[in-house]
A and B are shown apart, each in its own frame.
Chain A
Amino acid sequence: MIDLLFFGRLGDLAAEVDRSVTCVDGRATPLAIREWLATEHQSLAKELSEPQVLVSVNKMIVKWDQPLFDGDELAFLPPVTGG
């Protein structure tokens, strides 16, 4: 199982999303999970496609093609740029 964390305002859009997903080791990526989310949660997937959205796996910022494994925690982080 891979645990999903939607940080900040993404949590509001992901209220209906199951926070655990089953994937084949090494086959799933953050990008693939975003595409899977788009099938049922279009507004969330649209927000995840915004520029500067970051993903972390086990508290390490990674690229969207990072292979995921059983037990990983995948976090989606919305862009924050204002000052």
Chain B
Amino acid sequence: MPLNDDDFMRYSRHLLMGDIGELGQQRLSDARVLIVGLGGLGCPVALYLVAAGVGQIGLCDPDRVDKTNLQRQVLYRTDDCGSLKVGCAKQALEALNPGVTISAFARPIDKEILADGYHLVVDCTDNLAARQIINDACYAQRIPFVSAAAVGWEGQLVAFDFGRFRSLCFNCIIDHNSAEPMMNCANSGVVGPVLGIMGSMQATTVIRLLLGYFKQHGEMTRYDGKRGQWLSMHCSRNQQCPTCGAASV
């Protein structure tokens, strides 16, 4: 849908930028993005993408808001406790930007949701099984996949532009047979703003991908909030990867 007068006002700070402008804003408006997981990462990702005017957003999470979420999951209010996260998030996001179409899926991620024509998927989940489902579906459909995670003071970001690169995927980096680590947010805690930083990195990466500025396929970035340190590393294809390795072709 072409930008209207209200859009020109709302997105004026994008339109002022030479490397976004009207064409870039139109690309954002035409995009369909699925956000899987509406916890500490999914909240800032959804807020920034809806505010930025990404035209259609899917929200997927089976959980209900719990009081222990409120320390870091910034879309929810105390009165939301007990309600479905996707319902509360949809309401808050529509109030932020009624021009964005939001779909809600109150169930765990599955192949049916992932096959619904999204241009890009954002992984804000908290477990390896969900990441593998998303990775495999995005690889098969040649759509970009932006993944992040956080625990304690630490965060991780890695993104794959499967539309342009067919080697190297999430399963090359984390063995698909790996067990879940002992330490997670529920048993070890997490600093809220660390999730905000990693979620903001994800949202920025989504915008870069949609605008054609992303060139770091499979590069992993780590953040240590306690020491204020960043580390970026390259990854390489695992020839035995069940998703993209030589045996899978």
- Please give 14 more A-B residue pairs, beta carbons under 8 A apart, in addition to A61-B234, A80-B222, A81-B149: A9-B153, A50-B181, A50-B183, A51-B178, A51-B180, A52-B179, A52-B181, A56-B233, A59-B234, A60-B236, A83-B39, A83-B40, A83-B41, A83-B124
Nearest B residue to A77 via CB reads B222
Assess whether B161 is interfacial by the CB under 8 Å rule.
Answer: no
Q: In whole Å, how far is B205's beta carbon from the nearest beta carbon of chain A?
A: 15
Does A80 lie within 8 Å of B156, measured CB to CB? yes
Does A61 lie within 8 Å of B181, measured CB to CB? no
Q: Quick one: which of A20-57 are within 8 Å of B by CB?
A: 50-52, 54, 56
Q: Which residues of A contact B (CB under 8 A)?
A: 7-9, 11, 50-52, 54, 56, 59-61, 75, 77-83
Assess whether B224 is interfacial by the CB under 8 Å rule.
Answer: yes
Q: Which residues of B contact A (CB under 8 A)?
A: 37, 39-42, 123-128, 148-156, 173-174, 178-186, 190, 195, 220, 222, 224, 226-227, 229, 231-236
Some 5 contacts from A to B, beta carbons below 8 A apart, are: A7-B231, A51-B179, A60-B235, A61-B173, A82-B185
Does A81 lie within 8 Å of B151, measured CB to CB? yes
3 closest pairs, A vs B, by CB? A82-B185, A79-B181, A83-B126
Does A8 lie within 8 Å of B153, measured CB to CB? yes
Does B234 lie within 8 Å of A52, measured CB to CB? no
Does A9 lie within 8 Å of B181, measured CB to CB? no
Does A61 lie within 8 Å of B126, measured CB to CB? no
Q: A80-B150, A80-B156 are in contact. Are A60 and B234 (CB under 8 A)?
A: yes
Nearest A residue to B127 via CB reads A81
Most chain B CB inside 10 Å of its own CB: which residue of A51, A59, A81: A81
* A contact residues around B195 at 8 Å (CB): 83
Q: In whole Å, how far is A14's beta carbon from the nearest beta carbon of chain B?
A: 13
Does B234 lie within 8 Å of A8, measured CB to CB? no
Q: A51-B178, A56-B233 are in contact. Are A80 and B154 (CB under 8 A)?
A: yes
* A contact residues around B227 at 8 Å (CB): 8, 11
Does B151 lie within 8 Å of A82, measured CB to CB? yes
CA distance A61 to B219 in the complex (A): 10
Q: In whole Å, how far is B237's beta carbon from the nearest beta carbon of chain A?
A: 11
Does A83 lie within 8 Å of B125, measured CB to CB? yes
* A contact residues around B236 at 8 Å (CB): 60-61
